[in-house]
Chains A and B, each alone.
Chain A
Amino acid sequence: MTPSKQTAFSRRSFLKTSVLASGGMLISFNLFGACQPNVAPPIDISALNYNDFNAFIKISDEGKVTIFSPNPEIGQGVKTSMPMIIAEELDVPWEDVNVVQGKLDTKNYTRQVAGGSQSIRQGWEPLRQTGATAKQMLVNAAAAKWGISASDCTAKLGVITNNKGETLGYGDVVKDAANMEVPENVTLKDPKNFTIIGQGKSNVDIDKIITGKPLYGLDYKEEGMLYVSVLRPPAFGQTLESFDDSATKSVSGVSQVIKFGDKIAVLANNTFAAMKGKKALKANWKQNSQAESTEFHDKKLLSILNGTEFDTRRKDGDVDKAFAKSDKVIERIYESPFLPHNCMEPMNFFANVTDEKIHLVGPIQTPQGTARRVARMLSRKEDEVLLEMTRMGGGFGRRLYGDFVLEAAEVSSLAKKPVKVVFSREDDMTSGTYRPAIKYKIAASIKKGKLTGYHLKEAAINSNMYGLIPNFFPAGAVENYQVDTQNYSSNISTGAWRAPYTNFLASAEQSFFDELAEEMGVDRIQLHLDLLENVKNNPKPRVQYSPDRLQNVIKVAVEKSNWGKTSEGTYQGFSVYYCHNTHVAEIADITMENGVPNVKKVTCVVDCGIVVNPLGAMNQVKGGVIDGIGHTMYSDFAFKDGIPQSKNFNTYQLIRMGQTPKVDVHFIESDVAPTGLGEPTLPPIGAAVANAIYKATGKRLTKQPYMSYINTDKKILG
């Protein structure tokens, strides 16, 4: 990255609003100045009056700053890290910053989405420019006040200083500054001079979280709001035939029952009554399309893998020829189940649809697209929708889909009342947008000890890997390389789940490479380093990843984990992967206790460029690794006749503290622009665990979750 540069700034994204010259603001200023002349009073900076500066920034007369965080917060930490980037370039003390969640505002913000680990990567430049532009305007205003050139002024930590040593605070010039011309070009800081970015900052909502203040969608309420529990078809492929709500209507607190589509809404004055009323409904359902079971999906996907009908997504050289000429071909199949997201906060949303507007409040990863869908469904204009985002009790991809927002809007529209749809855990787990079940067949050819061909086939439910994945490792490293995909269209709803596709693909490929190295008689670490060397020597590699950065994370992981030097009874497994623009190597240390693997420690080395907030970044990395271990080891989700077989946490296992390893995290020091962290540490861990289990037991695990081997046949790992 060039240390500092002139950047043209789009005027459209920097719309000024007029200065508020309200009495309230002056009173607050006077009180502040008059009552506490010498002592800095303890003030609630969220309660001050602020001058609107732009869509991201407000500055009070006291120089305190409110920064609006544009993107949805699902636990990935952007409500802290995105404002940190603005505050860095604006150059204000972080202690003076109050962060507020921005509303959906398509005029002033771009890409208000939580997904794909892209908030920081795509927000990096625009957020820096936003802060730097505001800072320049403040400097220009101070210069005008002094009657000197702006180049004779500097600004630091909220104070502008001129060449005579005189100072003005940001609060002193904010009203003038807000009326200044927006500068076309601003200078960004040299990353060497960062004072906020790179420093660990606590979650901005920490005080509210630890004291139980209302923050989440489930906590939101309005006067006269009714709670809604919705009965949906129990099996996929079913429609509603008829229903009897007489028992429901006798539940105290229930006020109304409304049929909409194939669903029935129970409205009540409290959540429990709505849920109880729903349980009392008697409904008859009709199976309209195939009632699918897990055995059915397994057969379908295997028949795809063993067939010939594929879309070829990338083809280098000729794998068939390489296989025919080889000394040896190895071929393996890897299998994964459907997975629900299971956000701790079940799906919910508030809606109040009136003739004037559509007010929506709640947890959603895709506010813009969802507002549009609601407007379309109700035949209303998009600008009639006011959507406010709450903090979210997890996302993991589930809240990309606004099905629960549409439900709330439709029920409110029919009832003509403010409502909040609340899912029970059973609703949440059985009407999901699941991670689709996927199977991979991987084949590779070996000739004279070298890898000559690599053929990956994907059979998935409903849809296939997205466009760039065929250019991930080992693309570019093997002369003959092919990626084929095919899917089976199911009536079971599927969608993105933390690190879509790669969450299992990395497990499959990195397990395969472990076995391949063994077949080739080479060291598994060296095999990766050599293959990455091939990429560097390939004149046209067409890859997304950097072979140098992957080699580097591998080398650091080997060093930091004491690879190969563990004590007796500890077994290590290695895995490396690139996705979401981030390079990650992981080494899992396991022990075996009564035939059951116990992951004791994971060494995780991450190259994500500049680390904006080391505290938040550490949390993302550790969480991604342990989440990955949990779903790899324990979580299973089957269907029988279209009905999900797990409905709550008594029949669906999520990882718990006693099953967790210590995660030892190392970030590669870097001065290049930051990349995503919400997802990329999850995909590699499955293979690191499987490869360690192989070392301990001699068994290659190819089907997730791995605990199914122990549950069905204790001897397999014993």
Chain B
Amino acid sequence: MPTYTLKINNKTHTVEADMDTPLLWVLRDQINLVGTKFGCGIGQCGACTIHVNGNAMRSCLLQVSQAAGMEITTIEGLSEHGDHPVQLAWKEVDVPQCGYCQAGQIMTASAFLKHNPSPKDLDIRNAMHGNICRCAAYNSIEEAVKVASKKIG
């Protein structure tokens, strides 16, 4: 089985996996980073969103062989003490209901705000449209992105 060297949250991990294994399952089953969630496996729900070289990507669609050499950040590595402005905003607004999709929501929001720190309301709705929240906590997610943008801006 091939071996891959992955740079995740500023640490280097060497894993053995078939080349077509989605990074999602390598993170969850092999590296024990279970904050990145499985929702659909086809890039439709956003629960597995991570940052690859600073951009939001679906880890269920990214094969481990493609991830080698990239700068990968998961929810566990977004901040050292859980105090990224987006995380703080999520806490302030008390966004989660079941909470399962929230890591993906936070990763999408944090990558988006990095590129667009002072978004208009419609920009936020467009940016977050790809992440499903089955509890429909959308009002709170939208509000938290606004709160985070104020913290960043």
Measuring CB to CB, which residues of chain A are less than 8 angstroms from any residue of chain B?
A: 74-77, 200, 202-203, 205-207, 209-216, 218-219, 221, 227, 252-253, 270-273, 342-346, 391-396, 422, 424-425, 615-616, 619-620, 622-627, 630, 648-650, 654-658, 660, 662-663
Q: Is the CB of A657 within 8 A of B97?
A: no
> With A271-B25, A271-B38, A630-B136 given, can you name 10 additional A-B contacts, CB distance below 8 Å?
A219-B28, A270-B29, A272-B18, A345-B100, A422-B38, A425-B41, A619-B137, A650-B44, A654-B134, A658-B125
Q: Is the CB of A218 within 8 A of B25?
A: no
- A-B pair number, CB within 8 angstroms: 181
Contacts of B97 in A (CB 8 A): 75-77, 619-620, 623
B interface size (C-beta, 8 A): 57
Residues of B within 8 A of A (CB): 1, 18, 21-22, 25, 28-30, 32-42, 44-45, 47, 74-76, 78, 82, 87, 90-91, 94, 96-103, 106, 125-126, 128-142
List B contacts of A615 (CB < 8 A).
94
Residue in A closest to B42 when the chains form the complex, CB atoms: A648
Whether A658 lies near B99 (C-beta < 8 A) is no
Task: Find out whether the CB atom of A391 lies under 8 angstroms from the CB atom of B132.
Answer: no
B29 is contacted by which of A272, A616, A624, A627 (Cβ under 8 Å)? A272
Question: What residue of chain B has the Cβ atom nearest to residue A650's Cβ?
Answer: B44
List chain A residues, Cβ under 8 A from B130: 656
Task: Check A626/B138 contact, CB under 8 A, given A207-B82, A211-B87, A213-B35.
Answer: yes
Q: Decide if B129 touches A657 in the complex (CB within 8 Å).
A: yes
* Distance (whole angstroms) from the CB of B96 to the closest CB of chain A: 5
Question: Inside 8 A of B76's CB, which chain A residues have their CB?
Answer: 211-212
Least Cβ–Cβ distance between B138 and chain A, in angstroms:
4
Provide the bound-state CA to CA distance between A660 and B143, in Å.
Answer: 13
Contacts of A660 in B (CB 8 A): 136, 138-139, 142
A-B contact pairs, 15 of them (CB 8 A): A75-B97, A209-B103, A252-B1, A253-B18, A272-B21, A272-B25, A342-B134, A344-B134, A346-B38, A391-B99, A393-B100, A393-B101, A630-B136, A657-B141, A658-B125
Tell me the complex Cα distance, A211–B99, Å.
Answer: 11
Decide if A656 touches B129 in the complex (CB within 8 Å). yes
Contact with A663, one of B38, B78, B96, B139 (Cβ below 8 angstroms)? B139
Complex contacts, B103 vs chain A, CB 8 Å: 209-210, 212
Contact among A75, A271, A395, A662 for B99, CB-based, below 8 A:
A75
User: What separation, in Å, do the CA atoms of A346 and B42 have in the docked complex?
Assistant: 14
Q: Which residues of B contact A213 (CB under 8 A)?
A: 35
With a cutoff of 8 Å between Cβ atoms, the chain B residues found around residue A270 in the complex are 21, 25, 29-30
User: How many whole Å from B77's CB to the nearest CB in chain A?
Assistant: 9
**What A residues does B128 contact at CB under 8 A?**
657
Q: Could you tell me if B34 and A218 are in contact, using CB atoms closer than 8 angstroms?
A: yes
The answer for the CA separation of A702 and B33 in the assembled complex, in Å, is 47
**Set of chain A residues within 8 Å of B18, measured between Cβ atoms:** 252-253, 272-273
In the complex, the chain B residue whose C-beta lies closest to that of A655 is: B136
Tell which of B29, B41, B42 touches A227, judged by Cβ atoms closer than 8 Å. Answer: B29
Residue numbers in A under 8 Å from B106 (CB-CB): 210
Q: In the bound complex, do residue B44 and residue A648 qualify as a contact, i.e. CB atoms below 8 Å apart?
A: yes
In Å, the complex CA distance between A343 and B133 comes to 9
Instruction: Please give, as numbers and ranges, the residues of chain A lying within 8 Å of B36 by CB-CB distance.
Output: 212
Report B-chain residues with C-beta under 8 Å of the C-beta of A205: 96, 99
Per the bound structure, the CA–CA distance linking A270 and B91 in Å amounts to 33
* B residues near A218, Cβ cutoff 8 Å: 34, 37-38
Instruction: List the B side residues contacting A616 at CB < 8 Å.
Output: 94
Q: Which chain B residues lie closer than 8 Å to A663 at the CB level?
A: 139
CA of A200 to CA of B90, assembled, Å = 15
Most chain B Cβ neighbours within 10 Å, of A200, A272, A649, A654: A272
Give the residues in chain B near A657, CB-CB below 8 Å: 125, 128-129, 131, 138, 141-142
Given contacts A270-B29, A424-B41, contact A623 B135 (CB under 8 A): yes
Q: Say whether B45 contacts A206, CB under 8 Å.
A: no
- Give the distance to chain B from A206, nearest Cβ to Cβ, in Å: 5
Contacts of A344 in B (CB 8 A): 37, 39, 45, 47, 98, 100-101, 132-135
**In the bound complex, how far is the Cα of B125 from the Cα of A662, in angstroms?**
12
Considering the complex, give the chain A residue whose CB is closest to the CB of B44.
A649
Point out the residues of chain A lying under 8 angstroms from B129, CB to CB.
656-658
Query: By the criterion CB–CB under 8 Å, are B21 and A202 in contact?
Result: no
Contact between A75 and B98, CB atoms less than 8 A apart? yes
Q: Do B40 and A648 touch (CB < 8 A)? A: yes
Rounded to whole angstroms, the CA-CA distance of A210 and B74 in the bound complex is 11
- Chain A residues positioned under 8 Å from B45 (CB to CB): 344, 649
A424 to B125, CA, bound (A): 28
Determine the chain A residues whose CB is within 8 A of the CB of B96 once the complex forms: 75, 203, 205-206, 209-210
Q: CA separation between A344 and B29, bound complex, in Å?
A: 19
Docked pose: A630 CA to B137 CA in angstroms? 12
